[in-house]
Structure 1
Amino acid sequence: MKREAVFSKSTRPVGPSSTAPAALNASVAGATSSVENGASPIRSSRFSQKRWRWDFIAVFLLGALVSLGGLGLSQTLFSPRPALTQKDIDAAVLHTLQTKDLPSASAKAAASVQGAVVLVQAYVTDPKNKDVDKESGVGTGVVIKDDGTILTNFHVISGAVKLKITFFDGSHSEARVVAAQPEKDLAVLKPQKIPDDLEPAILGSSQQLLPGDGVVAVGFPFGIGPSVSSGVVSGLNRQFRSPDGNQELSGLIQFDAAANPGNSGGPLINMSGEVVGIVTAILNPTSARTFIGIGFATTIESAGAAVGLPPF
């Protein structure tokens, strides 16, 4: 049975007088020409499919290479580094020591107590003018409790009718004596007010000291300061008799860090910044009353007993 041809239902004419674009006519002509020249449309379609497959494979391979490269870079950046050896650490420390100016041990020790060291000024009534207070002594004290409790020498405040404390920040306060042990040349003071950021000193143990160990004395020699001097422990368990012979102290730390009148009552600290003693006296056979290389400090254990601190 003869099959009828099926035509497009478009109302656009398709004869020679068609207004279809020239490009479409050219496409048809090209297709006709290809058939006439023996090129099969099916073969051309298969060639295009193969070409598309090769393009896909190329893109896939390129993507895989990029992924592998990224993985290698990631492993390089984020892979754990080898552990440091002692040789690496020693080299780094040596480099720092050679290229950086580090504070001395005595400077670090002094800095640890600088906020706890105070100037103590004692006043008596001026015999020529009862309304005027006259300075009778100057010394040093060290804050040993959060409430501002101060440890100093008894001879600094002996006979005073008024005591004035100057703190590290320059603020002042009057103080009163709350305890005293004249036989140990120790006194405990309590200021009326204290700075908000006052920090007490850290107390250590003199039992760990040996002759030759480094120590630092901090105080107000002749009222100048706070001043810092460093030296070593010269001896332990020393005795000292006052020039007038009225007082004898024992169990003292002998040291050679410079100390002068005004240092009395100040802290003697070890290289860890801990208070191990309270500077008490200097030995000078002359009448000059200045330092010639021998100073004495009451151990912190003995001083702590004066304020009821627990034994170390």
Structure 2
Amino acid sequence: MRRNALYSRSPRRDVATPGVATARPEAAADSRTAGEATAPAVSGRKRLAAGALAQRHDRWLALVAGLVIGAIAIAVWTGSRPGARHLTQKDIDGAVLHTLATQTLPSRAAKAYEAVRPSVVKVVGTGYPDDDGDAGKKKAGKGAGKEGGKSPAPDARRAEGKAAPSAPGGPGTDKHADKPALPEGHPDIGRGMGVGTGVVIVDSGIILTNLHVVLGAAKLKVVFFDGLESDATVIGVQPEHDLAVLKAAKLPDDLRPAVLRSTKDLVPGDEVVAVGFPFGIGPSASAGVVSGLQREYRSPEGKRQLTNLIQFDAAANPGNSGGPLVTMDGEVVGIVTAILNPTEHRVFVGIGFAVPIENAAAGVGMSPF
């Protein structure tokens, strides 16, 4: 049996239809859910942004703190260093004296030798005539060490004792005395060979030497600093200065002429170096000083007199003839020409003579000063 619906007696409220009433609670629920979901998302983003900002601030703070600490450290280190010392003249003098006492300085003579060495040549003469004939050959055994294989007459031997490097040659001078000597036991003794020295003054192969070095030689040869050998010819002579000018046929690729220096500023006491081939040995260097200027020298036989010579005490011996006399700068001021020895021995006793380079240069038509 169908029963009728029972209704409440309470006042009636306006209510929506069941469909609408059902919808509202769902909408409210959805709204609450969306709100609840949005709120946490917004809060999370804010927290992330705040965290990133805090991290940036931390990095900046760390950087600033590092800079401050570094600046403080630099300031402390700089403040702890002693101030720069002001050098006084006494400090400088002390340092120089200490260096001189503890360090070996290069020799001035050695530097002079190295400067002129590439310009120095050995002059070798061969085919000297034997005026004594067979008698002279028989005497060669005794005089070979002094005369390069030929024994001179007694007058010539006396001349050699006082002449130097070999007695200055020229017309009327004994030719045997003029020939440069070779050391005892030299393999060329007995072959009519003599040795002297020359110096290159023009890079085309122009060489200065002494006249008595080349006088009487049938053939001349020069040996350059690099070992190159070349024939040479005499192209000029100055008998009044005991000078000869040679021209070499072959030249080294890097031939360097010597630097010539005027003697007008030369004074006694100036240091000099003589470079040459004493007794064929060399090139050899010997150091000394200028002993005097404008000296005169007469050959022992009295037939020749040289004037306006430089006197020096650097060791010179037979074979040094024609070699350069140089300053400590390696510049040529003279050509070694003679030594004075009052005894019968051809050895150096402290008095040598050189022709001033002005006279020597004039022999080749040069006027460098």
After TM superposition, the score normalised by the length of structure 2 is 0.65
Residue 302 of structure 1 corresponds to which residue in structure 2? Answer: 359
Contact 1:140/1:263, CA 8 A, preserved across alignment: yes
Question: Which of 60-69 and 236-245 deviates more?
Answer: 60-69
Structure 1: tracts of 5 or more residues without a match = 9-27, 29-39, 76-80
Q: Which has the higher contact order (CA 8 A, sep 6+)?
A: 2
Question: 2:293, 2:60 → 1: CA distance?
Answer: 90
Q: Would you say how many aligned residue pairs link Structure 1 and Structure 2?
A: 274
Larger radius of gyration: 2
Q: 1:209 aligns with which of 262, 266, 281?
A: 266
Cα RMSD of the aligned pairs, angstroms, is 3.7
Structure 2: tracts of 5 or more residues without a match = 1-23, 35-39, 79-83, 135-189
Residue 309 of structure 2 corresponds to which residue in structure 1? Answer: 252
Contact 1:277/1:299, CA 8 A, preserved across alignment: yes
Deviations 1:172-226 (A, max 9, x none): 1110111111111111111111211222211112111111111111111111111
**Structure 2 counterparts to residues 23-42 of structure 1, below 5 A:** none
Please tell me whether residue 187 in structure 1 is matched to residue 187 in structure 2: no
Please tell me whether residue 5 in structure 1 is matched to residue 8 in structure 2: no
Change in 2 beyond 3 A, CA 1:41/1:253: closer
Specify which structure has the higher proportion of strand.
1
What letter is aligned with 2:359?
S
Please tell me whether residue 105 in structure 1 is matched to residue 105 in structure 2: no
Question: 2:359, 2:303 → 1: CA distance?
Answer: 20
Shift of 1:48: 5.2
Shift of 1:61: 1.0
Question: 2:127, 2:318 → 1: CA distance?
Answer: 18
Change in 2 beyond 3 A, CA 1:60/1:136: closer
Contact 2:128/2:216, CA 8 A, preserved across alignment: no
Shift of 1:227: 1.2
Shift of 1:135: 3.0
Secondary structure class of the residue paired with 2:127:
strand
Secondary structure class of the residue paired with 2:264:
helix
Deviations 1:45-92 (A, max 9, x none): 8985885465244223135337758998xx9xxxxx999775565454
**Structure 2 counterparts to residues 158-197 of structure 1, below 5 A:** 158-197=215-254
**Structure 2 counterparts to residues 1-312 of structure 1, below 5 A:** 5=31, 51-52=54-55, 54-65=57-68, 68=71, 89-124=92-127, 134-312=191-369
What letter is aligned with 1:96?
T
Change in 2 beyond 3 A, CA 1:196/1:50: closer
Question: 1:310, 1:70 → 2: CA distance?
Answer: 73
Question: 1:46, 1:120 → 2: CA distance?
Answer: 101
Change in 2 beyond 3 A, CA 1:304/1:48: same
Specify which structure has the higher proportion of helix.
2
Change in 2 beyond 3 A, CA 1:62/1:234: same
Question: Which of 216-225 and 49-58 deviates more?
Answer: 49-58
Same amino acid, percent of matched pairs = 56
